[in-house]
Structure 1
Amino acid sequence: MRNLIRVFLAALAIAAIYTFGTGAIAESPKVGDQGKAPEFVNIDHWLNSEPLTMQQLRGKVVLVDFWTYSCINCVNTLPYVKQWHEKYKDQGLVVVGVHTPEFPFEKSTANVQAALKQFDIRYPVAQDNMYGTWSAYRNQYWPATYLIDTTGRIVYQHYGEGRYKETEAEIQRLLAASKTAPAR
C-alpha cells in the first residue's frame, strides 16, 4: 500500500510539473547565438517613441523586455530595466519594452500610458496586443529579457525575475565588444 501511495504521489508531482511548468523564475539564461532577432510586428501603438525597427537599431545593443503592467514579476524587474536604460543609453544600449497583455483590460492604450507614467518608464514601449512580436520571438513568459548584439543577433535570453547581475554583465560585455568590433 505504501508503494502505491508513493507511486501515486510521484505521478501527481510529475503531472503538476507538466501542467504548471517549472516556473519562469527557475529558468537559466540562454547565452550564445540564438539567431537573428525578429522585427517588431503587428504593433498596435508605439509609446515614448516613433516606431522602431531592428534594422534601425543595427549597430546598437538592444534589450527587449516582454512585460505587462499587472504582472507582479514584471513590475519587480522594472527598476533594473529602467536603471540599465539610464546607465547605458549613452553607451549604445537601447531598451525596448514590449507590452503584451495577459488580460483584456491590459489592451487599453490609456491603461498602458498610465502604467508608463506610474512606473516612470521613459524608454520606447511597443504595445503588442495581437501577440505578433511575442509570437515572432516564440516567447512564452512574462517577464522575458532578450539581448541583441550590434549585428542583430539574439545572444542572451532570460525568463522571470532574478539574474540581474548576470544580465548586466552581459550588457556590459556586449557594449564593450561593440566598441572593438569593426564597422559594418
Structure 2
Amino acid sequence: MKMLSRRAFSGLAVGSSALAAAVGGAWPVRSALAASPGLRDYGKAPEFTGIDKWLNSEPLTMQGLAGKVVLVDFWTYSCINCIRTLPYVVGWYEKYKERGFVVVGVHSPEFAYEKSTRNVQDAIQRFGIRYPVAQDNGFSTWKAYNNQYWPTFYLADSNGQVMRRHFGEGEYAEMEAAIEALLARRPPA
C-alpha cells in the first residue's frame, strides 16, 4: 500500500496554494466552487470490509444505508489535519442527520498505538463524535476505497454513488454545498 506521508501531503497542499495564488489568486476560484457543489460520479461506494470494531453503532453496510446521503471520512486520531476537519464533520452530522445524512468515520491507524480500541474510544469522546466509527486496523476498507491519504472524504448519494471526494483539509463550504445538493435530490422517505 503506497501512502503519501503527512509531510509530503502538506508540501503538496502548500505548493498547490502557491501556484493558485501565482496564477491569479485563489479567492475567485474558491467563491466559484462554493456556488457549485462540484459533483461528479466516481462510481459505486465500496462496502465496509474487515472492520475490527464498530463504535457508536452496530455494524453498517453501504447497502443498508441505501436512501441516505453518506459521508465516509478516513481519519486517525493523532493526525493534526484530521483533527482540524472534525469540527466541520461533527457539525455537518448534527445539522443534517435528521434529513437522511449519515457520517461514517473510518479510523485507519498510522501508528501502532492508534490500533487500540480504548484509545479510539477516548478520542471519539474527546472530539465529541456521535456518528458511527469503523475501526479499520487492517486497512481493508481503506484498500477497498483505494485511499491514500488522511483525512479523505467520500460523499455518496442516496443510490450509493460517490459523487464528491476531497483529500486533506479545506473546501468545507464546497463539501457542505455538495451535502445539501445531494440531500435535495434524495427521494422523500
Using structure 1 for the length normalisation, give the TM-score.
Answer: 0.83
CA contact (8 A) 2:93 2:102 kept: yes
In 1, distance between residues paired with 2:107 and 2:84?
15
CA contact (8 A) 1:99 1:128 kept: yes
In 1, distance between residues paired with 2:13 and 2:45?
21
SS in 2 for 1:173: helix
Residues 1:114 and 2:103 aligned together: no
Partner residue of 2:12 out of 17, 23, 36: 23
Residues 1:150 and 2:139 aligned together: no
In 2, distance between residues paired with 1:30 and 1:111?
36
CA displacement at 1:98 relative to structure 2? 0.2
In 1, distance between residues paired with 2:137 and 2:70?
21
CA displacement at 1:24 relative to structure 2? 5.7
SS in 2 for 1:115: helix
Instruction: Report how many residues are paired.
Output: 163
Name the aligned partner's letter for residue 156 of structure 2.
I
Partner residue of 2:96 out of 80, 88, 92: 88
Q: 1:92 to 1:130 in 2, by over 3 A?
A: same
In 2, distance between residues paired with 1:24 and 1:57?
33
In 1, distance between residues paired with 2:160 and 2:8?
33
SS in 2 for 1:83: helix
User: Could you list the runs of 5+ residues in structure 1 that have no partner in the other structure?
Assistant: 1-18
Name the aligned partner's letter for residue 109 of structure 1.
T
Residues 1:73 and 2:81 aligned together: yes
CA contact (8 A) 2:38 2:174 kept: no
In 2, distance between residues paired with 1:57 and 1:113?
23
Name the aligned partner's letter for residue 12 of structure 2.
G
Cα shift readout 1:47-80 (whole Å, capped 9, x = no counterpart) = 0000000111000000000000000000000000
Name the aligned partner's letter for residue 41 of structure 1.
T
Name the aligned partner's letter for residue 23 of structure 1.
L
CA contact (8 A) 1:24 1:141 kept: no
In 2, distance between residues paired with 1:172 and 1:119?
24
Please, what is the CA RMSD of the aligned residues?
2.2
Using structure 2 for the length normalisation, give the TM-score.
Answer: 0.81
Structure 1 runs of 4+ with >6 Å offset: 27-30
Percent pairwise identity: 63
Name the aligned partner's letter for residue 122 of structure 1.
R
Q: Which has the larger radius of gyration?
A: 1
